[in-house]
Homo-oligomer: A and B are copies of this chain.
Amino acid sequence: MTQYPSILLENAVNQFASLPGIGRKTALRLVLNLLRRDNNEVNIFAQSLTNLKSQICYCKVCHNISDTQVCQICSSNRRNRQIVCVVENIQDVMSIERTAQYNGLYHVLGGIISPIDGIGPKDLELDSLVERIVPEEIQEVILALPTTVEGDTTNFYIYKRLQPFNVKVTQLARGVAVGNELEYTDDVTLGRSILNRTLFQSDN
């Protein structure tokens, strides 16, 4: 016999174990948990996955995940339509929305330029960003990409592409994180935070 007493069990474990960060032992634990539930509950679980995959849309304006052709943010009247924040993926949109500090629109690239992984500008939603500037009368583009080499490369690429347009290009403030001890802040961040020091504000 194989390692598993049932081929049905093995199939389900294989599926869960194909997910990132889920090993075979964890997969078995998850499958056995589902097995203890009602038929109905398991069907709802499975249905939620097939529904997601078959019915999900990507907003045709900002390329964020959406239930509709144009997402809630892009179709909202309450957002500032002159500012676009450029992010790598939808998790980043969710992170920025959670801060409740931003009221503009987004543009989800779907990745960042990474020659090592074979990801070039053509694989990302970069052209569609540039094409938004004039018709949507965008005044400011905020670059909110990861502070890595790939992120910096992509930032620079976008900056170059946007130069012909009359649009302000900004980036997220970089410096010591709120709540961090200086002792444990890395040297590059600390060094730059001294060079780029700002005027003291009592609400920071």
Question: Nearest chain B CB to A103's CB is how many angstroms away?
Answer: 12
Contact A52 B8 (CB under 8 A): yes
Q: Which residues of B contact A91 (CB under 8 A)?
A: 28, 32
Say yes or no: is A119 at the interface (Cβ < 8 Å to chain B).
Answer: no
The reply to whether B90 and A8 contact each other, CB–CB distance below 8 Å, is no
Interface residue total, chain A, C-beta cutoff 8 A: 57
**A90 cross-chain contacts in B, Cβ below 8 A:** 5, 32
Known contacts A56-B35, A90-B32: does B12 contact A64 (CB below 8 Å)?
Answer: no
**A interface, CB within 8 angstroms of B:** 1, 3-9, 11-12, 14-15, 18-22, 26, 28-35, 37, 39, 42-56, 64-67, 71-73, 89-91, 93-94, 97-98
Q: List 13 A-B contacts (CB under 8 A).
A: A1-B72, A1-B97, A5-B90, A8-B48, A8-B51, A12-B49, A12-B52, A15-B48, A22-B30, A35-B65, A39-B54, A43-B53, A46-B50
